[in-house]
Amino acid sequence: MACILHIETSTQVCSVAVSEDSHVIFQLEDHSGPNHAERLGSMVDEALSFTDNHAIPFDAVAVSCGPGSYTGLRIGVSMAKGICYGRNLKLIAVPTLELMCVPVLLREMVEENALLCPMIDARRMEVYAGIYDRALKEVRPVGADVVDAETYKQWLDERPVYFFGNGAAKCMETINHPNAHLIEGIEPLAKWMQPLAERRLLNGQTEDVAYFEPFYLKDYVAKKPKKLI
């Protein structure tokens, strides 16, 4: 099996983990806010020191590739690519919304026919969301949804749908369907990346380190700062 460094920076949480032979052997999380530029470097240094001190060679670096925060994704992917360059490692991209499904499948009692809808808050009633079955097969492609009562109705009319992530709670009153269920406390964290990253590495699904870019979903639009005077 493989030893993989995992980096997750798509939301306000910054996290790093190391997995070896399908087990997470090191993890760090910072929930104090969007300070990835300050914290990620030292967290990665600790992870690298841990593996170097235990003489564990890395095989790859996995990074959460979006959608999510533009700045967070850029910081995480840049760090991952730098490590891959410096240590001649493979780069693995893990979709953020797929990653968020892992703790739900591991910890929650979800019906066999249920669908999973991870949501990342965008703004107002907009979320980045996708719909997956329990095998993590994509039932509906990832999109930027402006949520109203009809957005997920075709799936809710058929079976239970579980909504989770930092964009889910604000949508539940609007969705308002008996088959809609909210799971709270689900965040994309590096420690959940292990099964997805190992599967991609085993299947040869690695990225071009030179040309890989995060999945921003929407183009970044720079705005002029407001005048203070």
Q: State residue 9's pLDDT score.
A: 98
CA distance 116 to 134: 7
Cα 112 to the chain's mean position, in Å? 23
Q: Tell me what the mean pLDDT of segment 93-98 comes to.
A: 98
Q: Give pLDDT, residue 33.
A: 84
Helix axis angle for 194-202 and 96-107, nearest 10°, is 120
Question: What are the tokens at 125?
Answer: 């009633």
Tokens for 5? Answer: 């460094």
Directed axis angle between helix 36-53 and helix 70-87, to 10°? Answer: 30
List 126's β-bridge partners, or say none: 123, 146
Dihedral of the alpha carbons of 202, 108, 144, 71, in degrees to the nearest 10: -70
What pLDDT does residue 222 have? 44
Residue 48: pLDDT band (50, 70, 90) is: very high
Question: Could you read off the pLDDT of 51-86 as tens digits, one per residue?
Answer: 999 999 999 999 999 999 999 999 999 999 999 999
Helix (H) or strand (E) holding 4: strand 3-8
Give this prediction's pTM: 0.93
